[in-house]
Amino acid sequence: MADGTPLVMAAFDPYAARAQFPILSRTVNGKPLVYLDNAASAQKPRAVIDNLVAQMEGSYANVHRGLHTLSNEATDAFEAARETVARYLNAPSPETIAWTKGGTEAINLVANGIGLSIEPGDEIIVSEMEHHSNIVPWHLLRERRGAVLKWIPVLADGSLDMAAYAELLGPKTRMVAVTHMSNVLGTINPVAEITRLAHAAGARVLIDGCQGAVHAAPDVQAIGCDFYVVTGHKLYAPTGIGALYGTAGALESLPPYQGGGEMIETVEKDRIRYAKPPHRFEAGTPPIIEAIGLGAALEWLSGFDRAAIAAHEHALYQHAVSRLEGLNWLRILGQAEGKGAILAFTVADAHAHDIAQIMDRYGVAVRAGLHCAEPLAKRMGVTSSTRASFALYNTVEDTDAFVDALIKAREFFV
């Protein structure tokens, strides 16, 4: 609802959910919009849109220390959103949640923090299926601090080679950074087991939850990780907002990422004392409206049965796969057991970009390219792929329109 109250439904109805997204009523190239680019960015429900407008029209001010009514109202909403993120992740307290501009900044915050103590030869383990946002920050430590990157192999079905991972761990392992759910393959990784093995080796663990927080019902205490990263725009919230969860000890061990207002307790000419986490990591005026919008999105999303949503999305994926079976010109990338509703594929004798552009003629929005996962593309032996990614508001009709458009697009190349 506009006031952030969760919309509780007796059973999940994708058509009722879809009706809450104004953009999904539009047409593209004379066809009803079929939006299947959700892994890149999800659309926004009316509850979030109304919340953002209400904040700007009625309660906007800078947060903390304002001591006037508007500032107090904005601060209350801002900190309430932090509490909402903590509940959503089952974090032990709001103080374990630091606001960031998104998942990328959250990973960079951690990488820069531990980077100050990285010594040449220290090892960082990532997987071959990582998004560039969970690769490049660690490469920077390789270039600047002499860290060694080690890679968990991806098996043919798109799952991680856990036996190989266990062999990679050693006394020099400082950090293990892996995705909860692949943005290309849809693979949902065994992050609790990954964390357990890393901790046994004395390493810390960062989980990239930018996809997992949407589709995998994260529980950071059950996972046991040191850090968990989310981004708002994939969670039906605005862009420019994300959050970093860290255990109290993990956050306390990190130095500030940026300097400025808000992240300090005292500043003198010859000394400085930093604020405690999480404010230590929130220099400057924060993304106030965006954070409140993320809180509204999570309150809205929490009004649904998450298991029912996952079952619905998986049913759509399976429906698409069943209709595509037997097409010898199509290759689906990643079919790990229990994967999420992401369908990446290649079409024989056709470039992914061409397929996506032709499908757009039929109103179907999909993504094409490397999906910011170049090592994974090389591992799978492709130079690009097309990706359809499902969300709670997609329907069987969307899925059929996607398959029909794909078959029509293929006809341009025969």
Instruction: Verify that 101 and 70 share a domain, yes or no.
Output: yes
Which residue(s) pair with 27 in the sheet? 32
Domain boundary among 277, 301, 325: 301
221 and 364 both lie in a single domain: no
Pairing between β-strand 27-28 and β-strand 204-208 as defined by DSSP bridges: unpaired
CATH number reported for the structural domain that contains residue 402 in this entry? 3.90.1150.10
Return d(Cα 373, Cα 102) in angstroms, integer. Answer: 18
- Are residues 207 and 94 part of one domain? yes
Tell whether 372 and 386 lie within a shared domain.
Answer: yes
- Residue 11 falls inside a structural domain: no
Which tokens in the block code for residue 374?
Answer: 């170049």
Average pLDDT over residues 199-207: 98
Q: What is the pLDDT of residue 6?
A: 42
Q: What is the pTM of this model?
A: 0.95
Q: pLDDT value at position 121? A: 98
pLDDT band (50, 70, 90) for residue 65: confident
**Is the pLDDT reported for residue 1 higher than 70?**
no
| 280 and 342 both lie in a single domain | no
Residues 276 and 322 reside in one and the same domain: no
> Is 228 part of any domain?
yes
Task: Check whether residue 295 and residue 350 sit in a common domain.
Answer: no
Same domain, 261 and 129: yes
Does 216 share its domain with 122?
yes
Task: Considering the candidates 40, 54, 80, 372, report the single residue annotated as catalytic.
Answer: 372
As for how many domains the chain has, the answer is: 2
> Could you give the percent of the chain with pLDDT greater than 90?
96
Going by pLDDT thresholds of 50, 70 and 90, the confidence category of residue 11 is confident
* Domain identity same for 234 and 100: yes
**pLDDT value at position 67?**
87
Residue 47 lies in a domain: no
Q: Is residue 38 part of a domain?
A: no
Q: Is residue 45 part of a domain?
A: no
List Cα–Cα distances, 209 to 110, 132, 189, in angstroms: 14, 14, 11
**pLDDT for 84-118, tens place per residue?**
999 999 999 999 999 999 999 999 999 999 999 99
Average pLDDT over the chain reads 96
Whether residue 105 sits in one domain with residue 184? yes
Is pLDDT of 150 > 60?
yes
In a domain, 371, yes or no: yes
User: What residues make up the domain containing 390?
Assistant: 305-411
Last residue in a domain, options 273, 301, 329: 301
- pLDDT tens column, 348-383: 999 999 999 999 999 999 999 999 999 999 999 999
In this structure, is residue 364 part of a structural domain?
Answer: yes
pLDDT greater than 70 at residue 5: no
Give which of 258, 260, 252, 259 is closest to 278, Cα–Cα: 252
Do 286 and 312 fall within a single domain? no
Closest Cα to residue 246, out of 217, 224, 272, 213?
A: 224
How many residues in total does the chain contain? 414
Catalytic residue check, 225 = no
What CATH number did the domain enclosing 197 receive? Answer: 3.40.640.10
pLDDT band at 10 (very low <50, low <70, confident <90, very high): very low
- Give the residue from 256, 280, 301 where a domain finishes: 301
39 domain residue, yes or no: no
